[in-house]
Amino acid sequence: MNLADVYDAECRWDLDDDFFLALVNRRPRSRVLDLGCGTGRLTVAIAAAGHAVTGVDPDGDALDCARQKPGGELVRWIEGTVVSVDDVAAFDVALMTSHVAQVFITDEDWAATLDALRRSLVPGGVLAFDTRDPRARGWEQWTREASYAEVELPDGSRVATWVDVEAVDGDVVTFHWANVFADGTVIEGSDSLRFRSEDVVRSTLAAARFRVDELSGGWLGEPVGEGIGELVVVASRDV
């Protein structure tokens, strides 16, 4: 049983992928760092559009899935975190999609990540990411009843999935997730995410010497608070 297969079956191409691909395409033939690339759905598409792409993720199973995708051979894959990327001033664009920014719980980890991303970008390079707007209180829908879904896997079997919040401590939300496969196998665990406010996002980027160029509430450029509960951020490295 492979959670990467479940993720791929559950998370299809959507408006967020359109947004990030279009953003990268503003700079033809860019060198792109995709941090937290997962199973590489977007990563491979960016490479296919003519960019030189490095995908980084700590999940080896996810990277194995990514490598096997058509076009996976076009990407340089690195198993690890941003500190595994030794390239300095080597990228024109850095991405953290699918709310990867929220996995950095502590102020220290977030600051270190932004600092490493800044070093990896050329002066004026672009950093783009998405993070859920805490004002939307999206975690209130993270119950088994509201999140339950059955996903069809490539082999035709189905897996039941759901999440359920365990605790809310300030702006950190801890939740339980479960996957129940057709043969009765259960794979489950707990994770935590940090819901940083718009003010915190802006101030931490400024401290890391990034300039916020765009900040919207959804994939179609909606104003913050009028979109889909997202903070979609496009920033650039100060020279």
pLDDT of residue 9: 87
pLDDT of residue 81: 92
Query: Which CATH number does the domain 136-193 belong to among 2.20.130, 3.40.50, 3.30.70, 3.30.310?
Result: 2.20.130
Classified as helix, coil or strand, 74 is helix
Per-residue pLDDT of the chain (239 residues; tens, 9 = 90+): 578 889 988 989 999 999 999 999 999 999 999 999 999 999 999 999 999 999 999 999 999 999 999 999 999 999 999 988 888 889 999 999 999 999 999 999 999 999 999 999 999 999 999 999 999 999 999 999 999 999 999 889 999 999 999 999 999 999 999 999 999 999 999 999 999 999 999 999 999 999 999 999 999 999 999 999 999 999 999 87
DSSP-assigned letters across all residues of 154-222: TTS-EEEEEEEEEEEETTEEEEEEEEEETTS-EEEEEEEEE---HHHHHHHHHHTTEEEEEEESSTT-P
H-run or E-run covering 118:
helix 107-120
The fold of 3-134+195-237 is: Rossmann fold (3.40.50)
pLDDT of residue 96: 98
Domain limits, the chain = 3-134+195-237, 136-193
Rounded Cα distance between 68 and 64, Å, is 7
Residue 92 CB coordination number (10 Å):
18
Nearest residue to 16 via CA among 219, 165, 154, 221:
219
pLDDT of residue 1: 58
pLDDT of residue 91: 97
pLDDT of residue 119: 95
